[in-house]
């Protein structure tokens, strides 16, 4: 019964997200356009950072930042509407809500990674088992971004979510991830701050997995998982608090 | 067993008493209206009875289950149609109804049966596959009520169900609400006095969180010497100032 409640709600969350054409554009269009554009630049002015085996994992991770926007927007809109009030008067439990918002984003995240790697393969990436593993390793990264989304959606309204998760987070996760420029070029506090945050670890983990360097991937995976666990735990606390406030 | 029995139900927000020692009984199957000006405590009362907000003092029993200690059991027997239309905008009418059936753990067969039943009752078949976000105000309101009814509640809270609807849509909805009488218990909160008069078995009038009066529409008119509930309401509330 509990599984049915949660799965029904998860199904609803999935439909609400994928039926928004803007979400689909962000999800599949944006990473693919970036991949094509930067590969074109690479073809004319070769830069090691934009070689396809470096670029593809970075763009796959960057695309996952939209999981934050999707989850935060859905929760914030639900919270602001009477729809959430209705659901609070049903037998749904806090666990049903949290899982119902989290689980549908995992197949969405996986599909974003799969599409990114398919285009990377078309652009010259060699097909190995590591490509499949890279897709699998995107799950903890997705959970980390979903955690940020749950957190923001639990405390912000949809306009604030748009600004914070749409603009600020995507920019931060781009600058501080080493996707577009080598962090050694800036160095100093910037680099130290970047390595205290999860974004660069997510990218370096994906790059290491794609190259088959699993020992190198492990410490980065721990950073990402650590952030994911803390963010999701914090999000649960804040979601329950706002649920009680209602 | 009464559908609702409140005992000194009280809700305080810091130094404001939104509901003050409310004690009333609603019998099963009746249509009961809560009337009051803004800030009278109607919405807070409904929030407490639907387990959205915990009472500061007192308790209420929904079919014998405490709203303080047996919220899960209470939630299985109630449904709420909030004042604002509470629908999932990206889902179709059918999917919205199926969502609620799924949340209540209905089987596939029962879901299909209940959806067909409420679709007929609320006349939603012409918009059955349309996205809820694209519906007119009247249809959204009907869907919102259908979503409350589809879960087979024994007790239904209708908060301002006809707010913002045109005369025809309101009349249609009144007929639908009348059709529920005797089958389930309905608690109606409304600003429209003629709506309460036309539909209710009993009316409770609240002011500043307190219950001023609870009686049948005919008795209220007779005891105040007024010809309509609206006039009686004005008289009762003014006298309480």
Inter-chain residue contact A91 with B80, CB threshold 8 Å:
no
Supply the angle between the helices A198-211 and A214-245 in degrees, to the nearest 10: 140
Interchain CB contact of B78 with A (< 8 Å): yes
Residue B55 to residue B47: CA distance in whole angstroms: 9
> Of B49, B90, B158, which to mutate for an interface test with A (greatest number of A Cβ within 10 Å)?
B90
Residue B99 is predicted with a pLDDT of: 96
Say which residues have a Cβ less than 8 Å from residue A163's Cβ, sequence separation at least 6.
none
Distance from CA of B239 to the nearest CA of A (A): 34
What ipTM is given for this predicted complex?
A: 0.85
Instruction: State the CB neighbour count (10 A cutoff) for residue A22.
Output: 9
Q: Using one digit for the tens of pLDDT, what is the confidence trace for A41-83?
A: 888 888 877 889 999 999 999 999 999 999 999 999 999 888 9
- pLDDT per residue, tens digit, chain B (241 aa), is 899 999 999 999 988 999 999 999 999 999 999 999 888 999 899 999 999 899 999 999 999 999 999 999 999 999 999 877 789 999 999 999 999 999 999 999 999 999 999 999 888 999 999 999 999 988 998 899 999 999 999 999 998 888 877 888 788 888 888 888 888 999 999 888 888 998 999 999 999 999 999 999 999 999 999 999 999 999 998 888 7
Q: Using one digit for the tens of pLDDT, what is the confidence trace for B61-113?
A: 999 999 999 999 999 999 999 877 789 999 999 999 999 999 999 999 999 99
Model's pTM, two decimal places? 0.87
Interchain CB contact of B91 with A (< 8 Å): yes
Residue A1 has pLDDT above 70, yes or no: no
Residue A107 to residue A110: CA distance in whole angstroms: 5
């Amino acid at each position: 019964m509990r599984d049915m409640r949660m799965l029904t709600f998860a199904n609803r969350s999935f439909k609400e997200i994928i039926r928004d054409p803007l979400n689909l554009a962000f999800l599949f269009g944006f990473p693919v356009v970036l991949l094509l554009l930067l590969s074109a630049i690479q073809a004319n002015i070769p830069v090691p950072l934009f070689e396809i085996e470096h670029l593809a994992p970075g763009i796959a991770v960057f695309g996952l930042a939209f999981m934050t926007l999707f989850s935060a927007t859905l929760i914030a809109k639900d919270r602001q509407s009477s729809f959430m009030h209705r659901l609070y008067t049903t037998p749904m439990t806090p666990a049903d809500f949290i899982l119902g918002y989290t689980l549908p984003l995992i197949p969405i995240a996986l599909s974003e990674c799969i599409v990114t790697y398919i285009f990377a393969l078309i652009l010259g990436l060699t097909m190995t088992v590591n490509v499949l593993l890279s897709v699998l390793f995107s799950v903890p990264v997705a959970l980390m971004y979903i955690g940020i989304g749950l957190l923001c959606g639990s405390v912000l309204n949809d306009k604030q979510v748009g600004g914070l998760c749409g603009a600020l987070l995507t920019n931060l996760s781009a600058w501080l991830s080493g996707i577009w420029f080598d962090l050694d070029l800036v160095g100093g506090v910037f680099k130290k701050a970047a390595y205290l945050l999860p974004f660069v670890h997510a990218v370096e983990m994906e790059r290491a997995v794609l190259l088959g360097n699993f020992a190198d991937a492990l410490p980065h995976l721990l950073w990402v998982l650590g952030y994911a666990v803390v963010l999701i735990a914090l999000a649960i606390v804040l979601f329950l608090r706002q649920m009680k406030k209602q | 067993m009464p559908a609702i029995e409140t005992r000194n139900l009280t809700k305080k927000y810091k130094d404001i008493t939104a509901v003050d020692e409310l004690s009333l009984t609603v019998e099963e199957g009746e249509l009961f209206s809560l009337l009051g000006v803004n800030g009278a405590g109607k919405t807070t009362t409904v929030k407490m009875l639907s387990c959205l907000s915990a009472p500061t003092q007192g308790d209420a029993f929904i079919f014998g289950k405490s709203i303080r200690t047996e919220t899960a059991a209470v939630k299985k027997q109630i449904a709420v149609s909030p004042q604002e239309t509470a629908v999932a905008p990206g889902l179709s009418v059918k999917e919205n109804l199926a969502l609620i059936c799924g949340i209540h753990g209905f089987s596939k067969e029962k879901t299909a049966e209940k959806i067909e039943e409420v679709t007929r009752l609320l006349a939603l078949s012409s918009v059955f596959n349309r996205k809820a976000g694209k519906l007119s105000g009247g249809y959204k309101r009907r869907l919102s009520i259908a979503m409350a009814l589809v879960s087979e509640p024994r007790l239904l809270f209708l908060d301002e169900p006809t707010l913002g609807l045109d005369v025809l849509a309101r009349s249609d909805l009144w007929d639908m609400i009348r059709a529920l009488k005797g089958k389930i218990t309905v608690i109606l909160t409304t600003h429209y006095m003629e709506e309460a008069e036309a539909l209710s078995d009993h009316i409770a009038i609240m002011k500043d969180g307190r219950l001023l009066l609870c009686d049948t529409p005919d008795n209220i008119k007779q005891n105040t010497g007024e010809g309509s509930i609206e006039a009686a309401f004005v008289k009762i509330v003014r006298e309480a100032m």
